[in-house]
Amino acid sequence: MLENIIEPLLGWYEKNHRDLPWRAHRDPYHIWVSEIMLQQTRVEAVKPFFERFTSTLPTVKDLAEYPQEKLLKLWEGLGYYNRVKNMQKAAVILCEQYDGVLPADYEALKSLPGIGNYTAGAIASIAYEIPVPAVDGNVLRVLARIRMDDGDIMKQSVRSRVEKDLLAIMPKGRSGAFNQALMELGAIVCVPNGAPLCEKCPVKEECLARKTGTIEAYPVKEKKTRRRIEERTVLLILDGRHVAVRKRPEQGLLAGLYEFPNTEGRLTEDQVLSSVEERGLMPLQILPLPDAKHIFSHVEWHMTGYVVKIAEPETAFDRELIFVETQEAQEHYPMPAAFAAYASYMDLRLGQEKYQDKK
């Protein structure tokens, strides 16, 4: 039955695919960069980051040799920073073992840091027309609905079965287009959340869920564990034109990035005063800021913030604090978007915001 979707799907994709910058040609490096960026990030959000990344680092060699702190700054706003750290590790291996070129070998691609079955399949099929599947969440949803598949798509066994079934029908010489067509169908037609555009679907006649009126029942997906909530207090410690930042540990959440000083719990103004004085600083004024929230994959930060204006910081006991000018922080200190709500009070814009025109 699956064979019946190939021709209508390819015909539809030829006429209806989106014009995306990484589809302009089959450069394996560009495909790799785009696929890593698109993990956990929307297409429209990725576009400006992709263009800046590939113009700053046009080759694998450039990526391998780029200073990591500048690399994290370039990635700022995309989140999940281990993605780009693994890319750089892979780039070093590619330069050492493959002359700086992504190999035309599915298994070799999978051996690189940060590249799994899906990303290897996308690079191999789109760049090199190797007939292997590229199964992401969009593809799993499309196939689950077409076949009324009751398997939980969060399970590796289900993903492996889908990969095996697609491998058996992969059209030789057109595997890249076929994989992209399946992903595109899931992205713009067979969408989640009970709102698929079934009448626009090129394979609707093959879809069992549509025929039986059970579209909303698919795909089957185990509910995620509820996120842990953490209360935090963020301090904007200001010395005239300077703001205090510190570097996070090299392991754990947001590893190696910079942040505003913050602490667990929801501090009162008196507690903030004591906390700042314990750092060897002299507070002149403390102003409360509105609450903010940031959602990570496994935890939510519920934050309260304060502006703390201080006298000269020479007496600071806290040697982790670095006082930098706002513009310097903007250009040289990679900071996660978790702090964007508070950074805006100093006209410091993080991540995507720094690429938007000011109102």
Domain residue limits, the chain: 2-217, 228-355
Look up tokens 């990635």; give the residue.
Answer: 75
pLDDT in tens, 22-38: 998 899 999 999 999 99
pLDDT at 98: 98
pLDDT at 359: 34
- Examine the pLDDT at 310 and tell me if it is beyond 50: yes
pLDDT in tens, 86-140: 999 999 999 999 999 999 999 999 999 999 999 999 999 999 999 999 999 999 9
Give catalytic status of residue 231 as yes or no.
no
pLDDT at 318: 66
Please answer whether residues 146 and 203 qualify as being in contact, where contact means their C-beta atoms are separated by less than 8 angstroms.
yes
Q: What is the DSSP letter of 223?
A: P
Most confident of 137-146, 332-341, 348-357: 137-146
Q: What percent of the chain has pLDDT over 90?
A: 76
Q: How far apart (Å, rounded) are the C-alpha atoms in residues 264 and 275?
A: 12
Higher pLDDT, 133 or 325: 133
- Examine the pLDDT at 355 and tell me if it is beyond 50: no
Q: Which CATH class is domain 2-217?
A: mainly alpha
Please answer whether residues 116 and 106 qualify as being in contact, where contact means their C-beta atoms are separated by less than 8 angstroms.
no
pLDDT at 354: 44
pLDDT at 315: 58
Q: How far apart (Å, rounded) are the C-alpha atoms in residues 267 and 110?
A: 47
The catalytic position among 7, 35, 312, 353 is 35
- Compute the chain's Rg from CA coordinates: 24
Please answer whether residues 293 and 232 qualify as being in contact, where contact means their C-beta atoms are separated by less than 8 angstroms.
no
Report the amino acid identity of residue 156: Q
Tell me the average pLDDT across 56-82: 95
CA angle 134, 136, 142 (to 5 degrees): 100
What CATH architecture applies to the domain 228-355? Alpha-Beta Complex (3.90)
Q: What percent of the chain has pLDDT over 70?
A: 94
Confidence of residue 195 (pLDDT cuts 50, 70, 90): confident
> Which helix H or strand E contains 234, and what residues bound it?
strand 228-239
Please answer whether residues 13 and 7 qualify as being in contact, where contact means their C-beta atoms are separated by less than 8 angstroms.
no
pLDDT in tens, 161-186: 999 999 999 998 999 999 999 999 99
Tell me the average pLDDT across 332-344: 89
Mean pLDDT of the chain: 92
- Examine the pLDDT at 319 and tell me if it is beyond 80: no
Confidence of residue 206 (pLDDT cuts 50, 70, 90): very high
